[in-house]
Amino acid sequence: MDDLEDVDDILEFHDVAEILQARRHGRGRRIFRQRVDLFEEFTDQEFLERFRLSKECVTSLLDELWQYLPTSIDRRGLRISPRMQLLATLQYVATGDMQLTIADTADMSKASVFRCVQRVTRAIARIAPRHIKFPTPTEEIAEMQAFSRIAGMPGCIGCIDGTLQKSWWRSC
């Protein structure tokens, strides 16, 4: 029993010596805390307000993006899971907040948020052709007529979040 107490004393002494040495050299002891899981942190409604997608939709999107989003390591040596990368990117895109604000919320550096946004955006671009379909010229005419008849919006082929989107690619 005395041997175990001696080992505990030595380990405690070593910890104290390490802290004192770090203070002498002007460095504080690095303390890492677990990142908050934003997926679990918010209710369904709060989540929708912050990320503009439901938890189910984010889970489905993550299932598709997983292969393109390897777990990354930040400059502190901490893992950034694919889910955390996706959530940081979605919050950035959904709110228009500065990357520094997203970094504070996600408990990562601004540079890490930048890399997450880049990586997730590229991953979304890779799967986009599976989900985004532009109308054929015939479908486009039918949509314009329907919008004109229903809402009095001539030349409109669709709405996103209630925002009028013109058919810009025809004028390019």
- In this predicted structure, the answer to whether residue 50 has a pLDDT above a threshold of 80 is yes
Per-residue pLDDT averaged across 38-56, rounded?
Answer: 90
**Nearest-angstrom CA–CA distance, 19 and 69:** 37
Helices (DSSP H) in the chain: which residue ranges? Answer: 2-24, 38-41, 44-51, 55-65, 82-95, 99-106, 110-131, 137-151
Tell me what the mean pLDDT of segment 66-87 comes to.
83
Residue closest to 152 by CA, chosen among 164, 140, 160, 161: 164
Measured CA to CA, the distance from residue 108 to residue 78 in angstroms comes to: 9
For the chain, the domains span 38-131, 137-171
Q: Are 115 and 43 in contact (CB under 8 A)?
A: no
**pLDDT in the model for residue 43:** 93
Confidence band, pLDDT 50/70/90 cuts, at residue 8: low
Are β-strands 156-160 and 79-80 bridged in parallel, bridged antiparallel, or unpaired?
unpaired
Q: How confident is the model at residue 172 (pLDDT cuts 50, 70, 90)?
A: very low
Distance CA 170, CA 1 (A): 83
Residue 113 DSSP SS3 = helix
CA–CA dist 1, 145 (Å, integer): 87
Return the higher-pLDDT residue of 9 and 125.
Answer: 125
Q: Tokens in use for 7?
A: 């080992």
Higher pLDDT, 158 or 24: 158
The pLDDT of 102-110, averaged and rounded, is 85
Question: Please, what is the average pLDDT of the chain?
Answer: 79
pLDDT, position 27:
56
Residue 171 has pLDDT above 50, yes or no: no
Label residue 105 by pLDDT band (50, 70, 90): confident
Calculate mean pLDDT across residues 108-130: 93
Question: Which one of 14-23, 103-112, 137-146, 157-166 scores highest in mean pLDDT?
Answer: 137-146
Give yes or no for residue 165 having a pLDDT over 70: no
Provide the 3-class DSSP secondary structure of residue 165.
strand
In degrees rounded to 5, what are phi and psi of residue 98?
A: -70, 155
